[in-house]
Structure formats: structure tokens, C-alpha cells
Structure 1
Amino acid sequence: MPTKKIGSFPLFPQCQERKVMNEVMYGRVESQWNEGRVIIDTPMGNIPLQTLQRCRKDQWLNDELVNMYTDMLQQRCVEFNRPILLLNSFFYSKLTGEQNDTFQYKQVQRWTRSELVCHFFFFFVKVKVKIIFPIHLKGKLHWACGVINLRDRQIEYYDSLFHPKNSKPDFQHFAKCMKLYLFQEWEDKQLDTRASKHALELVTLIQNMDTCVMSAPRQSNGYDCGVFVCNFMYWIAHGFFPNFSSDPSSIQYFREKICLEILLGRVL
């Protein structure tokens, strides 16, 4: 099982691990956490206060929070015309079933448009360079991050609690499903006969794609995985390998930043 680590890079200003939250912003987060209302209005829609309070210290981020963040990050990529597609956690859960142990392409068949993936291997049309999505490992109440890296022709798995023995089955099923998904996408959405002539070559290319467990920052507890996944997606969407600080004070800052971003309806 290959593990790959990429060196750190200088980051774009908007991708720096910078302290963007001033006292007024922190005050807004604190006031919302202590708000008496049951439902909080945000630009991304209404959210229960109890859910928003999961951004506080020592709590696990649920699907609603992670998916809100994923949607905001996708909006950011569209705004800056980045060739990135972010899919929410339901993509992988529908593709792999309730226990993440099957393959059900028909459940996600309509999640992408025809020009996104199908002709990448033959460079006939412009496509997204990376497909990024959070993975909710249902049996473990744990978050990981999956990336189909079309540019480098590799399938990447980011897990802040990865263990060579305990996590291996999850990774192996992920890698298998992603290769099946790519072939099914091409087969389902091919636009002309030129591509069909290259079916055997396509199968070979997909089979030969690297499947890598990426060496990324690691968490030190059992509840910060959602914060790590949001950061993984943020850095990868900006074109860089995740190389952020994972000390407790930094993770707490990330939690408050995620909360504020949800309140604002945009990624800072």
C-alpha cells in the first residue's frame, strides 16, 4: 500500500494558515454559540444551534456541518474558476452503500455532467482536474477525504487517523470503487465514437492509476477528524498538499473559523 508525501509549498494569500478572525468575528461566533434560539439563519440555510455548537472544542462534526463547508468551498472554486469539483458526503455513501462495502454506480450516475470526466484520458475536452469529497466511514463514526486526481492520474486517500492494519480495508475498498467509478463514468457519458475505440486503452490507464494513502497531518484524539477533513479539502482545492499545524490551539482556531464561515456563508 503506497504512501506518498509531497513537500510543502508557498501558499496563495487566500490559502495561508493566517489569523483572519479579529475580535469582532470571534465575538460573533461566541454570541451564536450562546444564542437562545434553537435555529440559526445562515446564507447556506437554517441550521440547528445544537449542530453549530459542534464546532466547539471536543465535539465531532456531523454531515450537515461538513457538507455545508464542502458546498461553500465548491462555490469558492467556481468563483475563482478553479478546475475543481467538490462533492458532498452523500456521494461516497450512496456509491458504496450504508456500510461503505458495496458499489452502486446508478446511485450517483447523475451527479456529474458529461464533460467532467469521460474524455480526460484522451484530452478531447476540458475537464475538472480534481474531484474532492469527504468520506463518512459509517461503522467508525470517522471522516476521511477522497481525491480523484485526474491531472496526475492517481487516486488519493487522506485519513488523519490512518492505521496500516485497521484502516487498510476501508482504503482498499475506496481504491477499488474509485477505479470502477471512473470506468463507469466514461462508459456512461462518452460523447462520440472516438472514445469507444480506445476502451481497452482506457481500462489499462485506469487500472494503472496509483492509489495512495497520503501522508497528511494527524489528529491526536477521536473527534477532530471532521476539522481535519475540512482542512484537507481546503488545501487540496487550492492546489497544495495539506501541511497545516495540528497542535490543539490551531485546531481550535480552525473550529471557530469553520463556524464563522458557515455564519457568513463563504470560505475565508
Structure 2
Amino acid sequence: MEQAALSSSFPSDQYSTQALLNPTHGSCSTLQSASMTGSTCVSHSAALPHRQTRDTLLADSMQQCRKAEEMHNMLSQRKNKEHIYAWKHKAKVREDRMKDREAVMKELFDLRRASGFKSNYEDFKSYIDYQARLQHLDDRDTLSPSASLTDLRLKEDTPSLSHRHSFSDYADLPFLENAKKKLLRTLASPPTKPFSTYEWLRQEARKKDEEIERRFRPSLPKSLPPEMDKQVDIFLAKNGVISKIAREQVCDKDLSRLLPSQWLNDELINFYGAMILERSEACKENPGANGRNKPLNVHYFNTFFWSKLQGEGYERARLAKWTKKFDIFSKDVILIPVNHNNSHWTGAAINFRRKRIESYDSMNLDRHQVFKGLRHYLDLEHQNKKKKPFDFTGWVNHCPDDTPQQENGYDCGVFTCQFLEALSRGEMFNFSQRDMAYLRRRMIWEIGHAKFLDVP
């Protein structure tokens, strides 16, 4: 009778009995469940080995579980813990990579200098880093205009737009090695295959015409006259609004972007465009006004035009209203500044005189999106205003190989302004990278007075 009562107080199956008596065999959760439900209860403490009570046995089991968990956590932390010399190894790897990158950068600089690059090594590094970023955006198929610099200036987390900025994360060692290989292939490439006789004669005649024009056209001065240079310093020392023209205005923070190594913003480019437009309108009433000869009949679209065209489209952006008061098809040239992905400025034009969609890029990158976008706009605008598709017969895409090129990572805005200004007069470009310091000072004087300086 006693034996039956004693046996009934233990678990019915052999496994659960072993789990109760041996905490290491089985899970702790099983024991906890047993204690809570009472499914395995001992009616007489003397029946357990070593006179252990149920509570003592469960407490020992729980303690062993906690120790096992602590050991597991300790082992996990030990696996994730870095070696005591890991930081030294990582620092050495970074140092070696930087040395290799610098060595290839210097080799590339020497090669570019041998092929005509004029700027110093620091400017060259900023140029390569900038080129790498633009190439990275192009490879991701995102080199399309985004919100303009004005919109993004409202955010406090975009300091890179206001000063010289390095994109060395993009110009890594593989990029530099690839650039070096491309340059070596270019330098070692055979001479260009000769044109046909007729084409060769046309090319030679064009070269002679350009050479004659260069000889008769004086080069830009190296600096402003002393009195004008003093006025530039006065403008830079002012606070608040510096100058106004039409609906545009420039304040002290905007004007300071024309100091060396700064990126230009919407305010500066739109102010310069408003000056171009005002000069064109004035010359229709008074030919020869404003100093520079023969300004064309042009219209200037501000920096928001392209971002709206690409971001919203012709209909949604209501671009038809932009030309409600004039006929673009009666103009000689339509001038358009283009902001690519908030990283780069280029100039574009719809040239009705020469039947060309034109793109001028100081980094010489592929601009097929500009040609495609402007052709699409031209067709939709013609259908809206003339009620029929635009006739593109004879029209070509124009992107000249001799477009002046920048040699750093921050002068694209100045190049763009000078592209648009020269196009508004139908003139060839007579500036290069070496003129940027002078042109920045001249633009400060011109914007401060809201008129163009009468120089070549």
C-alpha cells in the first residue's frame, strides 16, 4: 500500500523522472512547468534521493540554467570581441590604401600635365574627386536634375553646396587605376582617320576661320582695374541685399559664393540670366546699348525650368504658362541653365538660328538627357501654341569638343554663366580655366552694378 502511494507520487514515465532527478538532463522550462502545474509532485520528502525537497531541487536546476545562460552569453561576447591588435591592422590597411591612392593620383597628374593640364595638384585632386562623383551618379543612372540649389539651401544639412567639397570616397583606387588606363590608351592611340577630301577641306577652312578670329579677339585681362577691384571688395563687405534686377536679388551670402573655390547657387545664376535678358530687351529698343555688340533676341529660362521639366513634366509643371506672354519660336536662342542632380551646372540652348539643340558641359560628360528633354519640350510647346508637332527637319544635337573645360571641382557655375552670356551674343567662347579668378571678380562687379562690364 505504501509502495503504491509512493510510486504514484512520481512522474509516470521514465524520462520525466530522470529530468526531475537530474537537472542537466532535459530543459529548465520543463521543470518550471512542472512546479507551476503540480503535474509532478512529491508527496513525501523522504522519497527523494539525499532527502532533497522539491523546492530545493527546482532551485538547483534553475541556478544551473542561469549559469549555462551566463556561459553562453560570455562565449558569444568573446566571439564578437576584436583582437587586441585589430585597430592597428585596420589603421595600417587604411594607411596603405591612402598611400597607393596618392601614388596613382600623382602618376595621373603627371600624365595630365604632359597632355596640357594647367592647374596645380590640389585643384587636380578636387577635379578628379568631382569627376568620380559625377561618374558615380551617371553609372547609377541618376544624373538627372533634381531640386535646385535654392530649395536645398533651406535645409541645414547641405553645407557641401557652399564650399569646396571632397568626394574622395568616389575617387577610390579602382577609379584612379581605370582613369590612368584610359588616359594611357588615349595618349597611345593612333592618329585620327583622315576625312574625305571634301570634309577635310571644310575642317581646314573652319580651323583657319577660328584662328583668324582668335587673333583679332583680344584675350581677357588678368585682373580688374584698381578702382573696380576696390568696388568688388566694398560689395563683399556689405550685409543684406546687395543688388536687384527685375524679380531677382542677391544678398551678401549669395555674393560670397563668387569667392574662390565656391559653388554658385540659383540666386547668382538667375541674377546673371536676368541681366542677359534685360540687355537683350533693351537692345531691341536701342540697338548697341549696354556696351557689348549685337546681343541676340534671346529668352532666359531660370534654373527651376529644367528641374520642373524633368521632375514634373510639361503638363504637370504647367510650363505652357511660362511662355504665355511671348513666342519662343520667334526668338534667336533660348538659354537654359541645367542643374544635374544638385551636383553640377551646365549650359543648354535651343538655337533657332542654327537649328541646334546645344549642350555645353565644362566636365565633358554625356548629356543625351539634355537633348532628349529639350526636343520633347520643343515638340510639346509647339503643339500647345501652334497646334501641330514641331518640324525637326535639319535640326542637330550640338555638343562641341572644344568646349572650355574646368580643372577643379567647383567652377562649373562660373563656366555655365559665361557659356550663357557668350551664347546670348552669338560669340565664341574666349575664356578658359586660367580666367576663372578674374571672371569671379568681374561677376561680383557686374552683379553689384546690375550691368555687364564693357570688356572683350
Q: Please state which band the TM-score falls in when normalised by the shorter chain.
A: 0.7 to 0.9
Q: Distance in 2 between matches of 1:9 and 1:87?
A: 33
- Equivalence for 1:87: 301
Q: Distance in 2 between matches of 1:9 and 1:189?
A: 42
Q: Distance in 1 between matches of 2:393 and 2:325?
A: 21
Q: Which consecutive residues of structure 2, in runs of 5 or more, have no partner in the other structure? A: 1-202, 285-295
Q: Deviations over 1:30-61 (max 9, x none)?
A: 123234x3x13313365331221110111111
| TM-score of the aligned structures, taking structure 2 as reference length | 0.46
Cα contact 2:299–2:331 (8 A) shared by 1: yes
Q: Distance in 1 between matches of 2:393 and 2:374?
A: 10
Normalized per residue, the structure richer in strand is: 1
- Equivalence for 1:154: 356
Structure 1 position 259, deviation (Å): 0.9
Spell out the pairing of 1:113-262 with structure 2 (5 A cutoff). Answer: 113=324, 116-117=327-328, 120=329, 127-139=330-342, 141-163=343-365, 168=366, 171-190=367-386, 199=388, 203=390, 205-206=391-392, 209-215=395-401, 216-247=403-434, 250-262=435-447
| TM-score of the aligned structures, taking structure 1 as reference length | 0.76
Q: Distance in 1 between matches of 2:251 and 2:451?
A: 18
Q: Does 1:49 align with 2:49?
A: no
Q: Distance in 2 between matches of 1:16 and 1:220?
A: 19
Cα contact 2:244–2:250 (8 A) shared by 1: no
Higher relative contact order (CA 8 A, sep 6+): 1
* Secondary structure, aligned partner of 2:323: coil
Distance 1:78 1:91, change over 3 A: same
Q: Distance in 2 between matches of 1:236 and 1:267?
A: 15
Q: Distance in 1 between matches of 2:351 and 2:249?
A: 33
- Equivalence for 1:40: 241
Q: Deviations over 1:130-167 (max 9, x none)?
A: 1011111124x11000110111111000000023xxxx
Structure 1 position 221, deviation (Å): 0.6
Larger radius of gyration: 2
Q: Distance in 1 between matches of 2:410 and 2:377?
A: 30
* Secondary structure, aligned partner of 1:109: helix
Q: Does 1:64 align with 2:251?
A: no
Report the AA paired with residue 363 of structure 2.
Answer: L
Normalized per residue, the structure richer in helix is: 2
Structure 1 position 257, deviation (Å): 0.9
Q: Deviations over 1:176-208 (max 9, x none)?
A: 111111111111112xxxxx5xx4xx55x3275
Q: Distance in 1 between matches of 2:352 and 2:249?
A: 35
Q: Which consecutive residues of structure 1, in runs of 5 or more, have no partner in the other structure? A: 121-126, 191-195
Q: How many residues align?
A: 231
Cα contact 1:57–1:255 (8 A) shared by 2: yes
Cα contact 1:130–1:150 (8 A) shared by 2: yes
Structure 1 position 241, deviation (Å): 2.5
Q: Distance in 2 between matches of 1:16 and 1:128?
A: 30
Q: Distance in 2 between matches of 1:9 and 1:146?
A: 27
